[in-house]
Structure 1
């Protein structure tokens, strides 16, 4: 079946950037360096401090990003050079997905007073919006 007929856009493939869902590196991204079998792959994240290791697919999330010209059985050095050349870590950090994760993480780390300040800021913003809408409705 050709790529045109398939509904899937993200495939488990060498060079695919993945988000780790569990383990000590949870929330970090890595690259599939090699495919072991239908359950596991060797992942490596030389720029995101994820050690080269075997990792099950069920604990990975495939991202839309991939390294284009990654050679077969590439080592950490080669993967690092490709990541830096294509700027994939920066692309990931600028993606809506990563920004949303960062915002959720930030919100989780707030203490009680910070949550109170956020509530006041939201009230102030809501008030400004409401007043400007009322003014626009009158005009």
Structure 2
């Protein structure tokens, strides 16, 4: 039997990123699987209330809470999240950092975008000059 290409499965304890709804952009834990289209999610440390949520509005992350029982209460999920420092690991991940950078870029005004462009030009010029000097030597 061949190895599966898929590594992220819908399972109890899987941390998921919400794509839609009022809590879009936050992470939550799958507490219970209802059927093939919905799960009960809970995010006691991220401000996501316990609710039924469709899979099509979730993005599965590589993080999983180990040994989380089925239909675990919010208190148990909160303790497990704090014990394994999952939220901190998410915030350190490159995925979360890229999302934060995009969000920050969306908040920029005209002058900030202009200043960023000027700084990028300066950096590009410096890199180009140092590369030319290295090629000469």
TM class by shorter-chain length? over 0.9
Unmatched tracts of structure 2, length 5 or more:
none
SS at match of 2:30: strand
Following superposition, the deviation at residue 138 of structure 1 comes to: 1.5
Question: For 1:66-109, what per-residue CA distance to the aligned partner results, in whole angstroms no more than 9, with x for missing partners?
Answer: 00010121100000000000000011111111111111111111
Root-mean-square deviation (CA), in Å? 1.1
Structure 1 gaps, min length 5? none
Match of 2:30 among 29, 32, 53: 32
Counterparts of 1:48 and 1:28, CA distance in 2? 7
Match of 1:101 among 99, 102, 110: 99
User: Which of 45, 54, 57 is the equivalent residue of 2:55?
Assistant: 57
Count of residue pairs the alignment pairs up: 137
Q: How many Å separate the matches in 2 of 1:110 and 1:8?
A: 37
Could you give the per-residue CA deviations for residues 36-83 of structure 1, whole angstroms, max 9, x where no partner exists? 011100000000000000000000000010000101211000000000
Give how far 1:5 is off.
2.5
Specify the alignment match of 1:132 in structure 2.
130
TM-score by length of 1: 0.95
* Paired residues for 1:7-46 under 5 Å: 7-46=5-44
In structure 2, the partner of 1:91 is 89
For residues 124 and 117 of structure 2, what CA distance do their matches in structure 1 show? Answer: 10
